[in-house]
Structure 1
């Protein structure tokens, strides 16, 4: 094929290539905006910490409603924990209830009556960390930081460190 007998200009193909390039650039820009928006608003890159924040919200809601069985199941990441209580002898449900309701042990000095999950930060190694620390406001102003372990899905307390917001 020589320059004199080049293929005819295909307008549909040229339009498809142009729209594909525009779409790819728009997708990359949208991905960058979402990644940065999640980070800036305190919900992790690409909002990756939102499921963890929802889990902590369910946990605090169960404590607020005095549904300690559900709260303990969320804390241990085992909805069938009653089927094998021997697994949790080191931290039984009775001790858990005392830790979250008794003024002597409770992180806020009394049972939780209101809460709001505010922000989360990733902690540990790797791009999404090994732990997510979720900051919440409970009972109108006290800050509570609850760590979530990515390896097994359990919640722990106290947090290895706290953050300002």
Structure 2
């Protein structure tokens, strides 16, 4: 047992290291809190959890705009190698998909531009079972895509529309 008289000598280097560790922990906590709320306020979900789904919808619509329907179909089904096992998708083949996104598109016209506006978590659980992504298409119509978290597939129309963003 040590007493006050034989306490260890003051070590300024160790004290500086302890102070720096405490500052780093406090800064990390503040940054985490800020990122949590900034992600939510900007429409990307808590901690930007919806951002991957927004990027997927963006890539999907970029492929539609480029008329690369095979690539868009792969993104839609979350299966880039879909052509090697096309029979798996016989209930919704590429020809029907292409028709749905050209002549029968959600805006009833060719998709030439888009902007992902916002997203919201949908379903149960902390981060939900899916993400509803609001997209402005051709600067005139808003559509809502649904990205399912469990398998990464996309769906249109979304189960419901976003009412707040």
- TM bracket (short chain): over 0.9
Q: TM-score, normalised by structure 2?
A: 0.94
Q: Quote how far apart the aligned CAs of 1:106 are.
A: 2.0
Q: For the aligned residues, what is the CA RMSD?
A: 1.1
Give the unaligned 5+ runs of structure 2.
none
Q: 1:141, 1:29 → 2: CA distance?
A: 40
**Residue 108 of structure 2 is aligned to residue 123 of structure 1:** no
What is residue 97 of structure 1 aligned with on the other side?
A: 98
Say how many residue pairs are matched: 163
Query: Corresponding residue for 1:73?
Result: 74
Q: Secondary structure at the match of 2:155?
A: coil
Match in the other structure for 2:3: 2
SS of corresponding position for 2:150: coil
User: In 1, Cα distance between the equivalents of 2:29 and 2:120?
Assistant: 24
Runs of 4+ in 1 over 4 A off after TM superposition: none
The equivalent residue for 1:17 is: 18
1:97-145 C-alpha deviation (Å, 9 max, x unpaired): 111111xx32111121111111111111111111011111001120011
Give the Å deviation of 1:19: 1.4
Q: What are the equivalent positions in structure 2 for 1:1-165 lying under 5 Å apart?
A: 1-102=2-103, 105-164=104-163, 165=165
Deviations 1:45-78 (A, max 9, x none): 1112222111111110111111111111110111
Measure, in 1, the Cα distance between the counterparts of 2:18 and 2:85.
Answer: 60
Q: In structure 2, what is the Cα distance between the partners aligned to 1:112 and 1:31?
A: 38
Q: State the distance in 2 between where 1:128 and 1:134 align.
A: 14
C-alpha displacement at 1:31, in angstroms? 0.7
Gap runs ≥5 in structure 1 = none
